[in-house]
Amino acid sequence: MTSFDPHSRLAILAAEYAARAEAIRRDLARAHSADFAEQAQQRQNDEVLEALLAEATAAQRQVALAKMRLAEGSYGQCLRCGQPIAPARLQAMPAAEFCLGCADLPA
């Protein structure tokens, strides 16, 4: 079993989300067809891309906040109850803000 290094895992995630967001921005910036029917389909695709971009941007923010918590020494502590977040949860979701019990609670 390999040991979990939050610094490197968060850096990898940040790079992945940045690359994903950049690729989506490039797709959104491309010109649309002059054909009306094709342009309508492209506009629908743009809506999907915009939703994906919003998800990638939100994930980038979560990773940035996790990196701040890591630098401050509070990484791995639940932001709601203050208890430690299970190591398995952090390995699966390195930017997790809440322990499993608090993650199930309504916001």
Domain spans in the chain, listed from the N-terminal domain onward: 6-75
Reported confidence tier of residue 1, pLDDT bands at 50, 70, 90? very low
> For every residue of the chain, which 3-state class applies, written as one string?
CCCCCHHHHHHHHHHHHHHHHHHHHHHHHCCCCCCHHHHHHHHHHHHHHHHHHHHHHHHHHHHHHHHHHHHHCCCCECCCCCCECCHHHHHHCCCCCCCHHHHCCCC
Q: pLDDT for 63-91, tens place per residue?
A: 999 999 999 999 999 999 999 999 999 99
pLDDT at 42: 77
Q: Say what the pTM is.
A: 0.82
| Model pLDDT for residues 56-69, shown as the tens digit of each residue | 999 999 999 999 99
